[in-house]
Structure 1
């Protein structure tokens, strides 16, 4: 066991089987956390509540469950979960993904040896189960390369990150009015001069599910494009972007969200990894 907290948000649409797989992958690490903060983001189905009760009973020494009265989204749930975590190191985990069994051991080693403030890792995207590999999402490892990519897209896979709680406190957490909230979090951390890194190893199986189209549809369409525009406008306002940066992402990225879906899907899986 080691002194870090894993924060997981669960909402009513989650599959109990997937949640169990996720929790088991955290518990059976080569380096187990001494705290798992599980945030119920609004009322859950009975089967989910029963599963969470089971883990809270069987692992009472490490589980902390926080029940929110209504669903207000991931950013709000993470803010509450992280604020209530007891440790100075926080790891993210989604409720339907699966950790490689040495994920935390490798990330903590990198965080300490390289003096990092935020560390992520590589992911394998899968369909029905981890034997159905769909793609690999590769992100740069060195701080300088991460910062270069930061101008154009998020240089971390959000469910893989492990970070110092002081970063979260300094930034006043995630901005729940912005989406994607993780990209905004990383940009604000960069502006505060925090040091980034990604381990070169794959650390997480990321669940796309049996229907790949459904998995990426939330990243497509006018609504997502509008959210992206608001995010880039914020980057301009906080002086992360200059006007050239702003126009470049508007002209290069937003039109992709508005393409016919079959074209967007091709670009997403064949060109954007």
Structure 2
């Protein structure tokens, strides 16, 4: 888990508590402090430092999520890594179900389904449903990421083989999954909700980071990379350019409607 100055200390505490209440407890919790943090978070970190379960790594300045994940995962002592964001909430059996699924089907990366919420987990907004089987996920990945990034649990050797996340690429997780597939790693998602994903009370603010000209430019750059890596052929490339890029530059009210009413399953 990475935490930085704009994170909310109350949400951060809820996220940590959901990890500590797992039916299958982690052997180590790595917190990467990405630059300066607010007083509330710093106070929580000082408290967590007293618990030997925590490995707290403080970076001198903010370097972004991909860099923080690389630093944290490199320091892990164990062969299975679970991702977690600093404001989401795990279902209590998340790790147990995911580890069982990964072992049973001999997978390298396993994710799960998420529920998006507003004020609290009783304020359900929508859900993201992702495909379950490897081949279905690869087809899906031609257009969208086949995992919800904060839900993944994976073998550390995947990270080592890929040399981690590419800090120059955004979205870094989508790129990571494509490179993992091209290197022969096997995927799966469990057919269970494993995470409450916090949108917050301001739903517009929550999805604006996935909208706009700059986001569209980053996507085009990523799709060109997929083309050069031979994950895309030219038909695949043109398909996402014509289907997805116009979506990013729609007037925001229209984009918001499409996001919650077409791209997500409404509550």
Find the partner of 1:241 among 199, 214, 232: 232
Q: Deviations over 1:176-195 (max 9, x none)?
A: 10100000000000001111
Alignment match, 1:168: 159
Match status 1:257 vs 2:248? yes
For residues 50 and 162 of structure 1, what CA distance do their matches in structure 2 show?
28
For residues 136 and 158 of structure 1, what CA distance do their matches in structure 2 show?
14
Could you tell me how far 1:224 is from its partner in structure 2? 0.3
Q: CA RMSD in A?
A: 0.5
Equivalenced residues, count: 264
Alignment match, 2:120: 129
The two structures have a TM-score, normalised by structure 2, of 0.98
For residues 113 and 3 of structure 2, what CA distance do their matches in structure 1 show?
23
Could you tell me how far 1:223 is from its partner in structure 2? 0.6
For residues 236 and 172 of structure 1, what CA distance do their matches in structure 2 show?
20
Structure 1 unaligned regions, length at least 5: 1-7
Could you tell me how far 1:144 is from its partner in structure 2? 1.1
Q: Deviations over 1:32-77 (max 9, x none)?
A: 00100000000111221111111221x22x1000000010100000
Match status 1:214 vs 2:202? no
For residues 134 and 44 of structure 1, what CA distance do their matches in structure 2 show?
29
Aligned with 1:24: secondary structure? helix
Match status 1:20 vs 2:13? yes
Match status 1:31 vs 2:27? no
The two structures have a TM-score, normalised by structure 1, of 0.96
For residues 112 and 199 of structure 2, what CA distance do their matches in structure 1 show?
18
For residues 32 and 244 of structure 2, what CA distance do their matches in structure 1 show?
33
Alignment match, 1:4: none
Q: Deviations over 1:210-243 (max 9, x none)?
A: 0000000010000100000000010011111111
Alignment match, 1:3: none
For residues 155 and 49 of structure 2, what CA distance do their matches in structure 1 show?
25
Aligned with 1:33: secondary structure? coil
Find the partner of 1:179 among 166, 170, 173: 170
Aligned with 2:189: secondary structure? strand
Match status 1:267 vs 2:258? yes
Could you tell me how far 1:200 is from its partner in structure 2? 0.2
